Structure 1
Amino acid sequence: MTVKSWDFYLPDELNASYPPEKRGLRRDHVRIMVLNRHTGETKHDCFFQLTEYLQPGDLLILNNSRTIPAVLQAEWCRNGKLLAEKVEVRLARRLQEDIWEALIAANPITIGDTLRFAPELSASVLAEKENSPLKMIHFSKKGTELFNMIYALGEPIRYEYIVEPWALDYYQTVFASHPGSVEMPSAGRAFSWELLFKLNRKGIQVEFIQLHTGLSYLLDDQWHQSPEENDEEYHISEKTLELIRQTKASGKRVIAVGTTVVRALETAAKYCAPSGVTNLYIDRHFPLKIADGIITGFHEPKASHLDMLTAFISEHDLLKAYDQAIKSGYLWHEFGDMNLIL
């Protein structure tokens, strides 16, 4: 698999550094560019007007995975000797109740080294991931007890375009309920309860799945994760699958809120697996079986998510729309504006 190099110029001022709430906006009052996947035509609106572009009987599917504060600080020890008082550990993916893949900003970290996060929490380095800087670490606690410690000690992952360390609440969707994502499933951030109720009143169906997002950036451009190297855990209930079947049978549309939802839905359809781990790569050659449309943010240059969008719309129309979004001053990233392709 070769990920296309989607390179374009994104002015720094279009990187959304502040949550909408800090810019004087409700979260559901960010902008939305509506893109017709068949004609390439674009319309511009406020996200709160989403109901104007959907029909009664359409089905919106959102990811209710909850963001965890995945950045931890630890003492680094080897054979009982302190090597560093403070190293950053970024959780990447949960493998078992007490075992995670993690990115450790210490070199050379080796198998058997110990990370001390607090007097009551430590982890040992179990193994290295092949062709990756990620390590497997074994925590001294597991399950709910471990999650409680992570929430007490951690901070949300923050990239260079975010100017201040915003609280974890800013990295949550209003409906997030299942902890596990190390980065926010950000396509759902613009939804408010008021908008969800508005959709319901219009007869637009809303359902939830879970896909726990992994770590997208490994801090060194030497390491690039393709979608096929980024395993993510997902779950879709039988109730949701049945509602999808009914919606498709009635001729209505299934709209995925986010690339995470597309990945989960299409994995379930391709492998007849409602739960599991996905590394599915979707591009213009992939025949979508479930998703008829997508709500997503604007993706940065060279992002593999742009490959996925070409499963919905031609590369030419997508690039033309992105050029228009840049000229119109749309904002990028998790605190930015939204794009509906339908």
Structure 2
Amino acid sequence: MELLKSDFYYDLPEELIAQTPIEPRNASRMMCVDRRTGAVTHDHFYNLCDHLKEGDLLVMNDSRVIPARLYGEKIGNGTFIEFLLLEQKGDKLWEIICRPGKKAKVGTRFSFGGGRLTAEVVEVKDDGNRIVQFQCEGNFFTALEDVGQMPLPPYIKEKLENRERYQTVYSRELGSAAAPTAGLHFTPEMLDDLRSCGIKTAFVTLHVGLGTFRPVKEDNVLDHKMHSEHYFLPQETADLINETRKNGGRVIAVGTTTCRTLESVATFYNEISEHDGYTDIFIYPSYEFKCIDGLITNFHLPESTLIMLVSAFMGYENTMNAYKTAVQERYRFFSFGDSMCIL
């Protein structure tokens, strides 16, 4: 089987890439797609309840974005350095990307926020990433909040005035380098309204890595290697999923990260139960879904692994038609863009 990267290309005018979040959160437009027929209708996100049924379950990713971009200087000569935190490896021990990399040899020390945070390079990895040991007084994440900046995707050029707008309202588990953006459309009031309509909610955690923005470079999609991300599926959520399926309700993943978490557990263990681990699952057309019945997601980059996942869920032709329609109807694309509800 051969899947070509170019099969997932679509032409997107640059002005349709959303640069700022819409206010209020749930005022975004929502394209509704029947995954079986490909039929497309148009609505707004605040009407999501109209498309769900009593007994359905929304599963969301409660990971919280850390202000993972740090600007500082080399201790001793003041040379500029930029860190991008990727993954925690231990107590104040992190894997990072840095630039300029030649300034970050083992043993080199750096200062951020006038010394609020300091860091020493303890290892240079084969891929050029560094392992650094941070030092600070008090809680590391408190210091990071003080001196770090949000690692917005490279296609967002506008300054984010309120960093909470790059967090979901239910975010709580610190660790992501990018937001699980399908959830940015929910407000607390909307979640309450959904629950009052008999729609259940549950949470998983998948810490989104910067690999989510890594382009597919290989022409043959099957040659692409996915990044690995840490996930946790609690027993409470597993019980709700199993109960929902038993009672004939639908399990609807809010976002591709939630989808990958649920499908990873279902694929690796042939059941839905509590698990904590890492996944590099790659979902593309021909994949057979084992857990989810619906997907709420944003509009993704051309030739990305995310549009491939959507194509696997609702069919290649349906997906490319929906994206063509979204461009024609001038939907807003990517992280701060509009929503798609696939059922």
Fold equivalence (TM over 0.5): yes
1:89 alignment partner, SS class:
strand
Alignment CA distance shift 1:10-1:220 (3 Å): closer
Note the 1:198-209 alignment, pairs <5 A: 198-209=193-204
Residue of structure 1 equivalent to 2:318 = 317
What do the CA deviations read for 1:167-195 (whole angstroms, capped 9, x no partner)? Answer: 31111111111111111111100001121
The answer to whether structure 1 residue 129 and structure 2 residue 125 are counterparts is yes
Note the 1:187-206 alignment, pairs <5 A: 187-206=182-201
**Using the alignment, how far apart are the partners of 1:101 and 1:285 within structure 2?**
34
Residues 83, 96 of structure 2: 8 Å contact kept: yes
Residues 69, 156 of structure 1: 8 Å contact kept: yes
The alpha-carbon deviation at position 222 of structure 1 amounts to 8.5
Residues 93, 232 of structure 1: 8 Å contact kept: no
Match of 1:311, as an amino acid?
A
Note the 1:108-123 alignment, pairs <5 A: 108=102, 109-117=104-112, 118-123=114-119
Residues 54, 197 of structure 2: 8 Å contact kept: yes
**Using the alignment, how far apart are the partners of 2:14 and 2:47 within structure 1?**
28
From 53, 56, 59, the counterpart of 1:58: 56
1:261 alignment partner, SS class:
helix
The answer to whether structure 1 residue 243 and structure 2 residue 240 are counterparts is yes
Consecutive unaligned residues of structure 2, counting only runs of 5 or more, are: none
The alpha-carbon deviation at position 162 of structure 1 amounts to 2.9
Note the 1:1-342 alignment, pairs <5 A: 4-5=5-6, 6-21=8-23, 26-77=24-75, 81-82=76-77, 84-108=78-102, 109-117=104-112, 118-130=114-126, 132-141=127-136, 145-158=139-152, 159-216=154-211, 228-272=225-269, 274-342=275-343
Residues 20, 335 of structure 1: 8 Å contact kept: yes
What do the CA deviations read for 1:68-92 (whole angstroms, capped 9, x no partner)? Answer: 1111012125xxx42x532211111
Aligned residue pairs, count = 332
**Using the alignment, how far apart are the partners of 1:185 and 1:52 within structure 2?**
23
The alpha-carbon deviation at position 229 of structure 1 amounts to 4.1
Q: Which moved more, 1:314-323 or 1:280-289?
A: 280-289
Alignment CA distance shift 1:43-1:275 (3 Å): same
**Using the alignment, how far apart are the partners of 1:289 and 1:220 within structure 2?**
27
**Using the alignment, how far apart are the partners of 2:148 and 2:52 within structure 1?**
39
Alignment CA distance shift 1:182-1:338 (3 Å): same
**Aligned-residue RMSD, C-alpha:** 2.6
Alignment CA distance shift 1:227-1:153 (3 Å): farther
What do the CA deviations read for 1:107-147 (whole angstroms, capped 9, x no partner)? Answer: 323233222224242222232333x34222222259x8111
Match of 2:140, as an amino acid?
L
Match of 1:48, as an amino acid?
Y
Residues 217, 224 of structure 2: 8 Å contact kept: no
What do the CA deviations read for 1:211-231 (whole angstroms, capped 9, x no partner)? Answer: 1111137899999xx984422
Match of 1:153, as an amino acid?
V
**Using the alignment, how far apart are the partners of 2:163 and 2:209 within structure 1?**
17
Match of 2:297, as an amino acid?
T
What do the CA deviations read for 1:294-328 (whole angstroms, capped 9, x no partner)? Answer: 10110011211111112211111100110000000
Residues 3, 304 of structure 1: 8 Å contact kept: no
Residues 216, 304 of structure 2: 8 Å contact kept: no
The alpha-carbon deviation at position 3 of structure 1 amounts to 7.4
Match of 1:97, as an amino acid?
D
Alignment CA distance shift 1:61-1:146 (3 Å): same
Alignment CA distance shift 1:39-1:239 (3 Å): same
**Using the alignment, how far apart are the partners of 1:325 and 1:186 within structure 2?**
18
1:291 alignment partner, SS class:
coil
Match of 2:171, as an amino acid?
A
1:216 alignment partner, SS class:
helix
**Using the alignment, how far apart are the partners of 1:48 and 1:267 within structure 2?**
30
Residues 31, 45 of structure 1: 8 Å contact kept: yes
**Using the alignment, how far apart are the partners of 1:227 and 1:67 within structure 2?**
26
1:311 alignment partner, SS class:
helix
Residues 64, 210 of structure 1: 8 Å contact kept: yes
Alignment CA distance shift 1:229-1:40 (3 Å): closer
